[in-house]
Structure 1
Amino acid sequence: MSATRRLALALLWLAVLALFALLVAPRVQVSGDLRKFMPAPRTPAQKLLIDELGEGPGSRLLLVALSGEPPDVLAVQSQALRERLLSARSAVDHPFKLVTNGADLGLDAIPERLRPYRYLLSPTLDTQRFDAAFLRTQLDARVQDLGSPAAGLIEPLLPSDPTLETLKLAEAWQPANAPQRLHGVWFDRAGREALLAIETHAAGFDPEGQQKAVDAIHSAFAAVSVNTRTQLTLTGPGAFSVEIGGRTAREASLIGMLDSLVFVLLLWVAYRSWKAPLLGGLPLASAGLAGLGAVALAFDGVHGITIAFGFTLIGVVQDYPIHLFSHQRAGMSPWASARALWPTLGTGVASTCIAYATFLVSGVDGLQQLAVFTVVGLATAALATRFLLPALIDPSPHDAADSAWLARAWSALARWPRLGASGAIALAALAIAVVTFAPGAVWQNDLARLTPVPPAALARDAQLRTELGAPDVRYVIAVQASDTEAALRASERLMPALATLRTEGAIAGFDLAARYLPSAATQRERQSRLPTDDALRSQLRDAMHDGPFADDAFTDFLADVARARAAAPLAPHDLAGTPLAASVEGLLLSRDGRATALVALTGLDDVDAVARVAQANGAQLLDLKQASESLVAAYRERVLWALALASVLLAAAVWFALRSPRRVLRVLAPMALTTLLILAVLRGAGIELNLFHLVSLILAAGLGLDYALFFDHAGDDRAEQLRTLHAVIVCSLTTLLVFALLAASSIPVLRAIGGTVALGVAFNFVLALLIVRAPVREGDDADA
């Protein structure tokens, strides 16, 4: 085939890839939801944790601190910032559900349309009736209020609310541990930072929605802080996800560019041709696009971790064209060379695909995505190398077996002592001893340890949460019920016991939805205590007798009571658009036909006492930290079972291909020893093993299997051994550099993958030489 025709075919291949990319791109919806990498929750605490991780108000909360100017200036800027963020609230795509800085938690917490409901929401009617005696007492108190400094606040309320139920509710609804208010807005205890709490419509793991919210906050801050020294601090899951996403994209871009440069340089040096890197990149691009397209078609969204891990397949996939290039020689067409390599290459590909396919039965969506991406990507690259790439290769290549430096290297390696059975067993025993007896925890169960957020940023976030009086993030009381009404009634029954716990010092405070929204039953009971129009007029007339108020002073009060008496009880959806909505939504969950009322706790001092009280009242104290650790443990168990099954299937695939017990053991030994050595090095270095270390072990095993299979394929033919050595050196160098760059990443997930596979490359290369390499035939070395 002429050079022109080969070039045309290469361009056609590129055009097909470009067209496929255009078709796949619209279907790729990238997700950052960590729940996709979690097994199905089983316990109530696990279910709550999974819901809160993805959709709960906690995942949507952004915390803002303004500092750098005097408190009065910061207060003005806080108000201006809040107003700007809410100014476009009517827009369909407005990113904020709630923006509060303490100024809106007074009377504004009760919008005008809900004012008549104050008699149903306030506990006054639980102990009082609107009779003449009570009303007279209230009116006398109002006369005194009008002569006090609070007159300006009281006077507008008086015509419709002589008992000040609105004010009582506003005070009762203040957060239990709310920060202090200076100049009408929240400040930290030191009075140096103005604080705001913002709830977004987008969930914490919605990168696009959170990016929009973060951009809107920065834009609004820039407008309100012109010509001042004010500084903005923004924390919370959404802010962190934006930061992580940006950093991950930057690092991935840098690592990708460096990987590509390394790949191009190594292949150019190794094959003395500018065509080799270009042709070698075609199977890689085909693998990536095929894997991504398969996941996009098979799943609802592609997880970012799937893409990040999936594209590390370059460490395996790049080996396929390299083996084909290195085994080219004069007198043998590329097609014949590909046919000769295929049994060995196909065995390695099939074995690795079988290993990853075990994740399809894991029951975890994220692992299933990894399996589909990997299997489709590997198979595509292998088939492209076998059936497409030979058509593009120069039929008159340079033979690696003629390399003088390679011959010297092989002669030096031939003098290395072989690792026999006894040596392999001793090395395995040593590795097992290190793994078993190394100090420190073996497994990393803390999900927070996988976050790349700097410790200083996490500490700042914790500080702001403390300043804002955020509840305990580990423990929460959950009341399960059939619907929201039953959940509210059950939590109301729990309130006296919680008050007792607070009095006894077991907790410093608590918060629950029933504080803001009583059950419909309680609201109806209070309605029944409201007097009729005629009765209330009579009682009010008696209370006003000889008083300072005009006869028609409280017409609005009579009208509000009449509306309250006829109104349907308030439901959670009636609070939409009010400051109360965020409080109730965060503490009253309704999903899958069930409802859960949560009790947020502050200052928890006696866990056992709280657990007993909760259980005695039909509730449950949930430990979310323990729930997260149990989820990680369950996930790890599934991964370990998948690894065990993968090991069996991989060994079976190698046996099917080689049909010789001795050869099978010799090929599998480097891979098995490498796995033990990787674990020993990680444990010896004090690194706790996480889920991504385990998943990466399969990738490392696939590389080791390829090295061992090709050394076994070379047999004792010196020329073939030289070609194999050339291929494995180029493969291992490119792979080692790729994963060494990942190991240097600041992203813990990428660091775990990179470090594990880089160790695997080094150990697999050395052990394949020590165990699988066959002795050179007598006289071959002398002939060289």
Structure 2
Amino acid sequence: MPRSLTAPVRLSLALLWLALLLLGGWWLSQRLALSGDLRKFMPEARTPAQKLLLDELGEGPGSRLLLVAISGAEPEVLAAQSQALREALSHDRRFAFVANGGEVGLDAISERLRPYRYLLSPTLDSERFDADTLRDELQQRVQDLGSPASALIEPLLPSDPTLETLKLAESWQPANAPQRLYDVWFDTKGKEALLAVQTVAPGFDPTGQQDAVNALQSAFAKAKGSSKSRMEISGPGAFSVEIGGRTQREASWIGSFDTIGLIVLLVLAYRSWRQPLFGVLPLASAGLAGLGAVAWWFAGGVHGITVAFGFTLIGVVQDYPIHLFSHQRAGITPWQNARAIWPTLATGVASTCIAYVTFLLSGVDGLQQLAVFTIVGLLTAALTTRLLLPALLDPSPRDPASWPWVEKLWNAIERVPRPRLRWWALFAVVAIACIALPRAPFWQNDLSKLTPVPPAALARDAQLRSELGAPDVRYLLAIRGRDVESVLEQSEALRPALDAAIASGNLASYDMAARYLPSAKTQRERQSRIPDAARAQSALADALQELPFRDDAFAPFLSDLEAARKAPPLQAADLAGTPLAASVSGLLLQHAGDATALVSLAGIRDPQSLAKLAVAHGAELLDLKDASESLVVAYRERVLWALAGAAVLLALTVWLALRAPRRVVRVLLPMALTTLLILAVLRVFGVELTLFHLVALILAAGLGLDYALFFDHAGDDHADQLRTLHALVVCSLTTLLVFLLLALSSIPVLRAIGSTVTIGVVGNFVLGLLIARHDVAAERDV
């Protein structure tokens, strides 16, 4: 048996342990890759709509679109700031495109693609470049050169006398774009300059979105100068930055308050400053080991939710050193004390770990990460409490069993009548009735209800989307085919029907990849209408008669015509590095063996009629809201199956540890009744349950099992009962402090976890006292 060490040696070992943890934390921070991809916490998509939803959540254009409004100054000033902002961001590689209505679209066609304008423009669908057509166009150019637009047209004239570039730019403008004042977009009241900005960073990349928002704010600060104008940014990326900032602020004050509260509680509970220092060592070891295990096991990086939620879950390990502290007294060494409580502690740890093992079979990467983090953390905390922490403890502290307040509390508890089994059966029936009777929906499937974004901000986002004519974020048309060419041809065939829907008022506008990139079939048909070099030269010579242009003025035009006539059809890959790539890539998805063309929609009045129209043309109307809810349902089913498996394994573990039916019932009954209590309270207060409530129920169940096991472990020995009571009071208060603060959070996810565990802590402690506490009367009741 190891001998007790002197106080200076014990303190030196504690500081050495702490130093090693700090060194390990620094080493891990240099190698830890954090991921923000929410798709890791989604089950595998099974339907086309679900697959598309997961793509859109991460990389779709909707997730990368930022809506910008500048206000607070005269319209002329706002317009100038809008142009300055667009100019600055257009050269920033963090942005795919910036639109404010001031661009004419010429930049969308790079120099190497200019000849393709005749294949991209619909002009040749109805006209030919013969002498009459060219003469009409050139006569119009003569008039244009005498107009205020001459500065724009004159540079284009030698290579583009028919102004196909401008026609393309006009056709690519949003169908229901905002009004233009001073050459930029404004809202309907003319008081806000509007911009649409698409980031290069995917929507699931919080760091990239934060970087983009910072760049926007920095560029605006330079553009506004000394004016009093202000800028608003909305959209998924802006919301994620706001949520991240608020979560960090709340986590900071909650963490600070928790730290101070825990230190004060432990100092008051043990009348020593050493316990707070020693108690944090197993917890820190657990967190570091959990992080390291996930980083080693999962090559894709550790998800931020895993880190945040994982540290919350392993908060239960703070109970392990508390049990060791409260049971230490003169007459036994810390090693003997650790060995005495180890079977009970190990049973609780093993049961909780088994509960999380079921998550490894969930098929959801995020849940698997969470399981590895928690299991490794719990085991590390338990083993360090058993094998390392005893070396640091004073072998002869003041025995908590001798403290008057503990004795008084125990005597008060002893005077409380202990209900018989039939009363607990009635308790369960009432709880089940409270769960089942409320008419409010039991489950919350709408992911948007979980966002901490204020309703006012969501309403403002909807207003800006309406002003900018941004597409509907719920509905999309999907056209699937064997390759890109087939889906582009189907898209072109669908356009007349969509145009008719706009004419009838059922649709405000739409956008598709075929607007920017016609199918190869269409491009070849247009090529066939381009005259060869000799005929083009002859038609141009006839058209120039009696017009004030030199005979050789349009040599670049003839060269571009010939290049377009001989060029291979433009493909999606040819757009790489051009502004058109951003527009096409978000609407044209390519996979091995198939392709999908998306049609974004705005201003839908009758989704059902649009769905019928889509089916008639080989397309499908996808409801992304319905897809998200079906994903949530699938996710919940997996969690529920995991919970069912965990319950069976947990009960089996307790049975193997205790081997006595009365003791098994006494240990498991408080946990089961507390679970019913939590659900009943949440339902009575109208709370719709989410996945986070379910995962928090496992944590609450683990706490209840721990409390019940130690109440049972105390047996009939009065002194040991007092020590157990002291330990569980301290455990309950520390856990209650942490989760009560989470329950007050403005973040719905944190609030769900906090409220669930807070109810669980109170229920588990009270029911554990009334049921699991061992004495003669309890034997008779159970």
TM-score interval w.r.t. the shorter chain?
over 0.9
Partners of 2:316 and 2:592 lie apart in 1 by 43
2:571 counterpart residue number: 571
2:325 counterpart residue number: 325
CA offset digits 1:28-78 (Å, max 9, x no partner): 222222111100111111111100101112111112111111111111111
The correspondence of residues 374-773 of structure 1 with structure 2, limited to 5 A, is 374-773=374-773
Write the letter of the residue equivalent to 1:277: P
Partners of 1:419 and 1:296 lie apart in 2 by 49
Comparing 240-249 with 769-778, greater Cα deviation is found at 769-778
Instruction: State the 1:483 CA deviation.
Output: 2.7
Partners of 1:357 and 1:332 lie apart in 2 by 36
Write the letter of the residue equivalent to 2:296: L
1:258 counterpart residue number: 257
1:158 counterpart residue number: 157
Partners of 2:34 and 2:148 lie apart in 1 by 58
Partners of 1:247 and 1:594 lie apart in 2 by 42
2:280 counterpart residue number: 281
Give the match's secondary structure for 2:268. helix
Partners of 2:218 and 2:606 lie apart in 1 by 45
Instruction: State the 1:500 CA deviation.
Output: 2.6
Partners of 2:405 and 2:105 lie apart in 1 by 82
Contact 2:185 2:194 in 1 (8 A): yes
Partners of 1:121 and 1:523 lie apart in 2 by 7
In the superposition, the TM-score normalised over structure 1's length comes to 0.96
Aligned-residue RMSD, C-alpha: 1.8
Give the match's secondary structure for 2:586. helix
CA offset digits 1:67-124 (Å, max 9, x no partner): 111111111111111222234x4xxxx3222122111244444344332211101112
Instruction: State the 1:153 CA deviation.
Output: 4.2
Q: How has the CA–CA distance of structure 1 residues 248 and 592 changed in structure 2, closer, same or farther, with 3 Å as cutoff? A: farther
Write the letter of the residue equivalent to 1:202: A
1:290 aligns with 2:289: yes
Which of the numbers 31, 34, 38 marks the counterpart of 1:34?
Answer: 38
Partners of 2:170 and 2:110 lie apart in 1 by 15
Contact 1:718 1:777 in 2 (8 A): no
Contact 2:283 2:315 in 1 (8 A): no
Contact 1:441 1:688 in 2 (8 A): yes
CA offset digits 1:356-395 (Å, max 9, x no partner): 1110000011111110111111111111111111111111
Which of the numbers 52, 56, 60 marks the counterpart of 2:56?
Answer: 52
Contact 1:315 1:734 in 2 (8 A): no
Which of the numbers 56, 62, 66 marks the counterpart of 2:66?
Answer: 62
Partners of 2:36 and 2:733 lie apart in 1 by 32
1:781 counterpart residue number: none
Q: How has the CA–CA distance of structure 1 residues 158 and 261 changed in structure 2, closer, same or farther, with 3 Å as cutoff? A: same
Write the letter of the residue equivalent to 1:138: E
2:211 counterpart residue number: 212
2:303 counterpart residue number: 303
Partners of 1:695 and 1:592 lie apart in 2 by 37
2:10 counterpart residue number: 6
CA offset digits 1:570-596 (Å, max 9, x no partner): 222333444433221221122445321
Between the aligned residues of both structures, percent identity stands at: 68
Instruction: List 4+ stretches of structure 1 deviating above 6 A.
Output: none
CA offset digits 1:278-309 (Å, max 9, x no partner): 11111111111111111111112111211111
1:78 counterpart residue number: 82
Q: Give the paired residue count.
A: 773
Contact 1:439 1:686 in 2 (8 A): no
Instruction: State the 1:619 CA deviation.
Output: 1.4
Partners of 2:305 and 2:133 lie apart in 1 by 65
Q: Which runs of 5+ in 2 are unaligned?
A: none
Contact 1:420 1:771 in 2 (8 A): no
Instruction: State the 1:227 CA deviation.
Output: 1.2
1:782 counterpart residue number: none
Contact 2:532 2:562 in 1 (8 A): yes
Q: How has the CA–CA distance of structure 1 residues 359 and 314 changed in structure 2, closer, same or farther, with 3 Å as cutoff? A: closer
Instruction: State the 1:551 CA deviation.
Output: 3.0
Comparing 305-314 with 549-558, greater Cα deviation is found at 549-558
Give the match's secondary structure for 1:318. helix
Give the match's secondary structure for 2:329. coil
Instruction: State the 1:481 CA deviation.
Output: 2.2
Q: How has the CA–CA distance of structure 1 residues 149 and 272 changed in structure 2, closer, same or farther, with 3 Å as cutoff? A: closer
Give the match's secondary structure for 1:471. coil
Partners of 2:387 and 2:526 lie apart in 1 by 80
Q: How has the CA–CA distance of structure 1 residues 748 and 100 changed in structure 2, closer, same or farther, with 3 Å as cutoff? A: same
In the superposition, the TM-score normalised over structure 2's length comes to 0.96
Partners of 1:426 and 1:464 lie apart in 2 by 55
Contact 1:507 1:602 in 2 (8 A): yes
Q: How has the CA–CA distance of structure 1 residues 222 and 769 changed in structure 2, closer, same or farther, with 3 Å as cutoff? A: same
1:338 counterpart residue number: 338
Partners of 2:728 and 2:576 lie apart in 1 by 64
Partners of 1:21 and 1:159 lie apart in 2 by 66
Comparing 758-767 with 558-567, greater Cα deviation is found at 558-567
Contact 1:139 1:162 in 2 (8 A): yes
Write the letter of the residue equivalent to 1:58: G
Write the letter of the residue equivalent to 2:47: T
Instruction: State the 1:549 CA deviation.
Output: 4.1
CA offset digits 1:514-557 (Å, max 9, x no partner): 01111122112211211111111222233334445443343222
1:15 counterpart residue number: 19
Give the match's secondary structure for 1:116. helix
1:226 counterpart residue number: 225
1:139 aligns with 2:138: yes
2:103 counterpart residue number: 104
Write the letter of the residue equivalent to 2:103: D
Comparing 550-559 with 423-432, greater Cα deviation is found at 550-559
Partners of 1:236 and 1:423 lie apart in 2 by 54
